C-alpha cells in the first residue's frame, strides 16, 4: 500500500520556504527529534491512521500528523505556518506528485494545537490525505 | 391521485436516526478505546467516555475521549521518547465506518 508520508516529506523538502523556516532539509523527517535539548527546529510527519483511501468516505480517509518543533512556541508556530502554506496553498490547486504518489486532496482536520513535548515546544497539525500511486513512467 | 407532503416528517425521522446512530457509534467506541489504552493505574482507561450528540449546522456531532486526564493526549500521539498508542483513533477506525449502517438501521431500512 502506498504511503503519503514520503510524498509529503518530499514536498516539504522541495519547498524553499519550509526548508528556510526549519533550517535544514534533514530536519524534515518521519521521526521525532531525538536531541536531548530543544535547541533547534524540526518537522516530523507521521501516519495517524485511517483505513482506506476513498474520497467519498471521509471517516475512512488516511490521516497524517505533522509535528512542528521549535526552540520556542513562536518558532514552532512559524514552522507550522510554512508547512501549512506548502501543503494547502491559498488556491484551489492542492494536488502534487512526489515520491511516486499523487496526493490529490489534503485538508486540515481540526485546528493547530500548541503543545510542549517533553520540554520542547511543538505545534501539532492534523491532515486528511487522499492519494494514489503513480505508475512508473507516467 | 393526491400527493401528501411528508417531507418535514421525513427530515425529522432522518435527523433522529442520525442522532441515535452518532450516540451509538461514540458509545461503541469507548470499549475498544479502553482496551487499547495503556494501563498502569487505570486512571486513563477509566476516564474514556462519550458525550451525547449535539446539533451542528451540518448535522450531529458526537465526541469520545478523555476529558480530565492531562497525559491522555501523549498516550494518544506519543512524545519524543515514547510512541503513541493511538488508542482513540484506532478505536474510531474500528467503529466509525459502522455509522452509516447504524443510521440505516435506525431508519428501519
Q: What is the CA radius of gyration of chain A?
A: 15
- Listed range (A11-15, A21-25, A45-49, A87-91) with the worst mean pLDDT: A87-91
Considering the domain boundaries, does residue A129 fall inside one?
yes
Q: Do B89 and A48 touch (CB under 8 A)?
A: yes
Provide the CATH number for the domain around residue A112. 3.30.2000
Q: Do A49 and B99 touch (CB under 8 A)?
A: no
For A39-57, write each residue's pLDDT tens digit: 899 999 998 877 665 555 5
With beta carbons under 8 A apart, name residues in chain A contacting B102: none
Q: What is the pLDDT of residue A96?
A: 87
pLDDT of B83 > 80? The answer is: yes
Considering the domain boundaries, does residue A56 fall inside one?
yes
Q: Chain B: residue nearest A119 by CA?
A: B80
Give SS3 for A20.
Answer: helix
Considering the domain boundaries, does residue A97 fall inside one?
yes
Q: Which of B79, B86, B90 sits opposite A117 (nearest CB)?
A: B79
**Sole residue written with cell 508520508:** A5
Average pLDDT over residues A17-39: 92
| Number of domains chain A contains | 1
Is-contact A33 A42, C-beta < 8 A?
Answer: yes
Q: What is the pLDDT of residue A57?
A: 57
Q: Chain B: residue nearest A44 by CA?
A: B80
In total, the C-beta contacts within 8 angstroms joining chain A to chain B are 35
Domain boundaries along the sequence of chain B: 7-106
Domain around A10:
4-133
For A57-107, write each residue's pLDDT tens digit: 555 678 899 999 999 999 999 999 999 999 987 666 668 888 888 888 888
- CA within 13 Å, CB half, A110: 12
Q: Do A117 and B97 touch (CB under 8 A)?
A: no
Looking at per-residue pLDDT, the higher value among A138 and B24 belongs to: B24
Can you tell me the ipTM of this complex?
0.77
Q: Which of B80, B90, B99 sits opposite A49 (nearest CB)?
A: B90
Q: What is the pTM of this model?
A: 0.83
List, as one string, the DSSP characters of A23-87.
S-GGGEESS----SS--S-EEEEEE---SB--TT-GGGBEEEEEEEE-SSHHHHHHHHHHHHHHH
Looking at per-residue pLDDT, the higher value among A55 and B72 belongs to: B72
Considering the domain boundaries, does residue A138 fall inside one?
no
Q: What is the mean pLDDT of chain B?
A: 93
For B31-45, write each residue's pLDDT tens digit: 999 999 999 999 999
Distance from CA of A13 to the nearest CA of B (A): 21
Amino acid at each position: 500500500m502506498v504511503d503519503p508520508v514520503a510524498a509529503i516529506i518530499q514536498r516539504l523538502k522541495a519547498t524553499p520556504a519550509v526548508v528556510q523556516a526549519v533550517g535544514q532539509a534533514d530536519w524534515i523527517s518521519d521521526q521525532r527529534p531525538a536531541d536531548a535539548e530543544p535547541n533547534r527546529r524540526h518537522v516530523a510527519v507521521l501516519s495517524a491512521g485511517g483505513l482506506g483511501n476513498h474520497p467519498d468516505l471521509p471517516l475512512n480517509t488516511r490521516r497524517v500528523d505533522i509535528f512542528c518543533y521549535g526552540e520556542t512556541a513562536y518558532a514552532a508556530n512559524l514552522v507550522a505556518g510554512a508547512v501549512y502554506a506548502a501543503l494547502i496553498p491559498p488556491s484551489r490547486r492542492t494536488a502534487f506528485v512526489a515520491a511516486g504518489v499523487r496526493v490529490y486532496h489534503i485538508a486540515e482536520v481540526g485546528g493547530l494545537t500548541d503543545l510542549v513535548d517533553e520540554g520542547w515546544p511543538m505545534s501539532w497539525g492534523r491532515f486528511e490525505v487522499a492519494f494514489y500511486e503513480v505508475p512508473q513512467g507516467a | 391521485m393526491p400527493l401528501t407532503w411528508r417531507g418535514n416528517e421525513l427530515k425529522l425521522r432522518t435527523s433522529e436516526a442520525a442522532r441515535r446512530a452518532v450516540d451509538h457509534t461514540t458509545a461503541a467506541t469507548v470499549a475498544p478505546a479502553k482496551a487499547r489504552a495503556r494501563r498502569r493505574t487505570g486512571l486513563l482507561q477509566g476516564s474514556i467516555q462519550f458525550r451525547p450528540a449535539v446539533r451542528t449546522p451540518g448535522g450531529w456531532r458526537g465526541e469520545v475521549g478523555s476529558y480530565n486526564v492531562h497525559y491522555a493526549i501523549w498516550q494518544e500521539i506519543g512524545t519524543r521518547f515514547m510512541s503513541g498508542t493511538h488508542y482513540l483513533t484506532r478505536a474510531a477506525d474500528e467503529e466509525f465506518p459502522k455509522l452509516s449502517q447504524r443510521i440505516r438501521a435506525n431508519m428501519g431500512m
